[in-house]
Amino acid sequence: MSSLVSIAEDDPLLEGDFAKEMLRQMRALDAYDMYETWSAARILSPFVLTKERKAEIPVIGDPDEVTMSRVKAYYNALSFLIEKNCGLMAIPMVNLSHEGFGRAVISVGKLIVMDKNLRDVHRFGFKTFEQMNEEASKMVDKAVAMVEKYKEVAKA
């Protein structure tokens, strides 16, 4: 595996709904068609921060626009999957300061189904692609359960 790609090209998780939506979100950000010839693993690889990659990132720093776009793509993908699973529109709201602090909120109707404080966004990522998928799955499942429980608020 090269240092550019930290996800195996044949990883079965690349065939899942979450990976497919993440690819769609990342390709939507690609104004210059750089990703046209890139594999799915290479496009999603920046979300995986191996020990070596994390060591290259300073402990204190401001996130660049590319990193902030990745954070937004991640929460957009979660919103899409929540909407797909509950049938109601899910809206992500990501507010980040230039210093990399902020909050991500996903609402369905008047119901807040996910609320996450964000810190050190310049180091945003996951130890493994598997962990990224597990975290996303947990958040989507919790959000959908909350919508089911408070359907009246979600439909408001």
Q: What is the pLDDT of residue 136?
A: 98
Position 93 in a domain: yes
Our count of domains for the chain comes to 1
Per-residue pLDDT of the chain (156 residues; tens, 9 = 90+): 345 678 999 999 999 999 999 999 999 998 888 899 999 999 999 999 988 888 888 888 888 999 999 999 999 999 999 999 999 999 999 999 988 899 999 999 999 999 999 999 999 999 999 999 999 999 999 999 999 999 999 998
CATH code at 99? 1.10.3100.20
Position 1 in a domain: no
Torsions phi, psi for 10 (to 5 deg): -105, 20
SS3 call for 114: strand
Token pair for residue 8?
Answer: 């195996």
Position 6 in a domain: no
Q: What is the pLDDT of residue 3?
A: 55
Position 116 in a domain: yes
Position 2 in a domain: no
Position 143 in a domain: yes
Look up the domain containing 123 and give its range: 12-155
pTM for this structure? 0.91
- Residues 148 and 86: beta-carbon distance below 8 Å: yes
Position 61 in a domain: yes
Position 108 in a domain: yes
Q: What is the pLDDT of residue 1?
A: 39
**What's 156's DSSP letter?**
-
Torsions phi, psi for 102 (to 5 deg): 170, -150
